[in-house]
Chains A and B, each alone.
Chain A
Amino acid sequence: MQRLPNLQLQPAGRKRRASQMATALADVLCDPEMLLSKLEEALKVRVRAEGRAEELKAEPRKPPADDMALERFSFWMARRRTLFGLTRRALAGRTTEVRSLISQSLRDHGVPHALAIAVMDRLSAPRVVLGLLIRRMLAGVESVHGSVMHLMQEHIGRLKPPGDWPPSGKELARQLFSRSVRKSKVKPEWKKEVMYAGVDAPEISIIVAFDCDVRFIDAVTTMQLVFTGKNIEWIFVCDDPSLSAQIREYLSRRRSFFLQRTILILNSINYGRSLSRAIGAEAACGEFLLFMNSDIWIDDCAAIDVALQALRRNGFGIVGFRLLYEDGTIQHDSLRTKRSPHFQDLFVPDHLGNGLPPQLYRGKLVDKVEAVTSALMMMRRDLFTALGGFSQNYMHSDFEDVDLCLRAVQEGHTVGLVVTDECRHLERQSIRLKGGESAGDRMICIDCLKFNGIWGDYLAGARTSVRTAIDLMPSRGPS
């Protein structure tokens, strides 16, 4: 779980942070190289397709006039300046202006009136749609133009029930994003290798996903010494094919070091953290799953024992841990969702006490909280399966854990936090090495839009029924 700016604790940096976020979002739209390369790629595909069609001397099929108009419109949408201008206005809350511009463009491009109304309705939640476009562009799934066309046609073709047509913008957003809450249709491909067999029936399966910084593997493997004598298995999921050979080589030269069952899973492509964890869970044998980021360090496994007891006897569904930075201050002391003025008043997860000394925050050994980070999260394997695992909807890893916790709470489970000083989270260490946080910020913006598309109403309307950490534990907070 990555940290969002804790604005309440750092009032002096609010404006600067908001400005950074706006700049980050603008960057993605202003990156001429990326956009041009995507557009060129799309055009090349089109040219090749047309060339092949000519070679086959097939009967040229003239697309319907409506489709042509829609395609022209989608090219307009895919322009860098258009996307930038629309998103800037949308983020500034100038939704009417966005609608007006889109409406004008639809008319200019000759889109029939009936179709224009449908498209307008499709774009009635412009922040959400624009966010999705940017996401697709960043993910490299397809070109922006292709995405626009796909969205339009998909919308027109699939969301046209006779009864409630046209659907409201909120309903559209809900349908759009609720689709991706379901599991991906793509069947992931991965290879499993048992590095050390160990015991057959481990109690806990620790799932560690590696995706960018291979150096943390030193610490993760050394932590087997922390768990000496425990009935556990380690599942290392390498989600970056460029690191696969390196990690495999490292582990295969360390087989005699392992004390516990150790499994290596090599994903064929980068599936993201959620799917990687799902793959790890599928390979796991333990009754309990402990999801661990590669940048976690545990000094003593007493905290894990406490979590195990909380899950077994105290009726908790999900248990997280207090995590400290390397300087001993709080990185994570549970999460709560709150509206952020820097995300257009959308709900974002807020880290309690982030960056403050842990002595300021008192609490029970295991506290009831609203949500916990997935950087170090423990739960029963069957509950994980029943909840459908982490949502694969998000690009970054700031929302998937809150999403899972909210779903667990909806199902009647309780989320707990083990208050300990033994666990460290060296978070965001690799982002700096990759060239700064702007890429992460962009993805957070998009994920934020998605999260609110799914949970916005629930959190806003049913807020009173979702007990927050503060509600539950009046003693939590600065002592």
Chain B
Amino acid sequence: MRVIVVAHGHPRLTSGGAESAAYGMFSHLKEISNGSRPVFVARTEPKMIGHDADFGAFRGREDEILVSVPSWDHFSLLSMDYDRLSQIITDLASALKPDLVHVHHYAYWGIEALQLFKQKGAKVVLTLHEYMAICHNCGQMLKTNGRLCSQASPAECAQCFPGFTSGHFFLRERIIKTYYFNYVDHFISPSRFLAERYVAWGIAPDKISVVENALAPTAIATAEELCRVNRENTKTEMAEPLRQREPANIGRRVRVGFFGQINPFKGVDVLLKALLLMRRDDRDRLSIGIHGSALDKQDAGFRSAILFDLAKLKDCVRMAGPYDNDRVFELMNAYDWIIVPSIWWENSPMVIQEALALGKGLLCSRIGGISEKAAGAVFFEPGSSTDLAEKLSDLPIICPRQQTVTMRKVARQCMEQVVSIYKKVLN
């Protein structure tokens, strides 16, 4: 069985949970494959390839292919140059001869990629990472006025985007659902919540399975090593179990870390507003680190609001900037709590798995797939700065003991599910 894993970016070149999930799956497939050698195919900008060809090898690795695809239409999700995309996929298929193509995203590729891979004789499995097929607002199901959207309809979508008509939205849905999603043999959703949304939208329940994203084996190994070191330090330096009243912790601030892209959907602004609402002495107990990129890509209003709040909170908030995915565990290990203040219907944020792998405390908004992923977390109402301020005020230095999840076991279970889906589809 020859599998190619298709992603809309390489996690070493672009930051994003879907890219990491795709690469994680590819790495696991490499480990469990019996000589069939899966291939990771990631779309990238032409400049990242380094030469003029449409294809390139990431760092010279023969099983990690970079592809420069033509641009796509963000509304219709269709490629702007179908003929060139067709040629690229024909070349890929003839070179790799895949039995199955596991597409982790059609973004940037164009949704016709599903049709083209299918036409080349491969079975197509698609992992859904957000609601892009349903919602034009970056697939977030968040109205442009900031309110959460529970169900899309052409007339309501046209209210969010006055530049498009309800007819445009009707056709968008018809084209995606009736035609291009028909080329998919099986869908995978990392969370039950997201699967339910897509079933309500029109995907047959028997065509979609819930399978968690697996962390890459190297990431799991790093996390396990850090956990081992943490345990040793705990045994040698500190009394077990740690408590807030322990002498070593007196005077120390509660360390809370944010990891992810800084955009209006991830809720960094909610976090900053909550900190501003807190009393000064409560806030002085906290040390917040914000790790993430993409602030410079946001609109001026959002950017200036964030910078304005950050300037007022410089005594307790540190903007750490972008981070390398390879160092995420190392960075995360410096915090007591990891916060996920998202205001959209999150699917299955990788940051939750990473925090769980390190046994960190989780402070999450109760929304979308987060509720089912972050067992034992401290929850607050999504978008509610006041609720978050209350939760932050009561936050202990050491979180209530998290059950350290063995991510290797989780990954193994995920891959068993994925392989069984592959077999089912191929048969």
Contacts and interface: CB of A to CB of B under 8 A. Distances in A.
A binds B: yes
Interface string A395-424: 000000000000000000000000000001
B128 interface: no
Interface in A188-217: 215-216
Contacts of B167: 216, 295, 326, 426, 429
B401 interface: no
B175 to A, nearest CB: 5
A216 B171 contact: yes
Contact of B154 (A216, A326, A433): A326
B96 to A, nearest CB: 20
B81 interface: yes
B76 interface: yes
Interface in B169-204: 169-171, 174-175, 178-179
Given A327-B154, A327-B155, A219 B175 contact: yes
A297 interface: yes
B171 A256 contact: no
Contacts of B178: 299
Given A218-B76, A219-B174, A222-B179, A326 B166 contact: yes
Contacts of B73: 218
Contacts of B175: 218-219, 222
B166 A426 contact: yes
B313 interface: no
B78 interface: yes
B165 interface: yes
B83 A255 contact: yes
Contact of A426 (B82, B112, B170, B179): B170
A225 interface: yes
A38 to B, nearest CB: 31
A304 B133 CA distance: 29
B interface, how many residues as a size bin?
20 to 34
B168 interface: yes
Nearest to A251: B82
A253 B80 contact: yes
A430 interface: yes
A458 interface: no
Contacts of B153: 327
Contacts of B84: 253
Interface string B120-157: 00000000000000000000000000000000011100
Contact residues of A: prevailing secondary structure:
helix
B241 interface: no
A432 interface: yes
Nearest to A219: B171
B293 interface: no
A216 B78 CA distance: 13
B66 to A, nearest CB: 22
Interface in A298-317: 299
A253 B81 contact: yes
Contact of A256 (B82, B165, B169): B82
B163 interface: yes
Contacts of A299: 174, 178
B83 A426 contact: no
A256 B174 CA distance: 22
Interface string A143-156: 00000000000000
Given A216-B171, A218-B78, A299-B178, A429 B86 contact: no
Interface in A270-300: 295, 297, 299
Contacts of A429: 165-168
Interface-central residue, B82, B84, B86, B166, by most chain A CB under 10 Å: B82
12 contacts: A215-B164, A215-B168, A216-B171, A253-B81, A254-B83, A256-B83, A297-B171, A326-B166, A424-B170, A426-B170, A426-B171, A429-B167
Given A257-B86, A433-B165, 12 more contacts: A215-B75, A215-B164, A218-B171, A253-B81, A256-B86, A297-B170, A326-B154, A326-B166, A426-B167, A426-B168, A429-B166, A433-B163
Interface of B: 73, 75-76, 78, 80-84, 86-87, 112, 153-155, 163-171, 174-175, 178-179
Interface pairs A-B: 6 shortest CB-CB: A426-B167, A326-B170, A429-B165, A429-B167, A219-B171, A254-B82
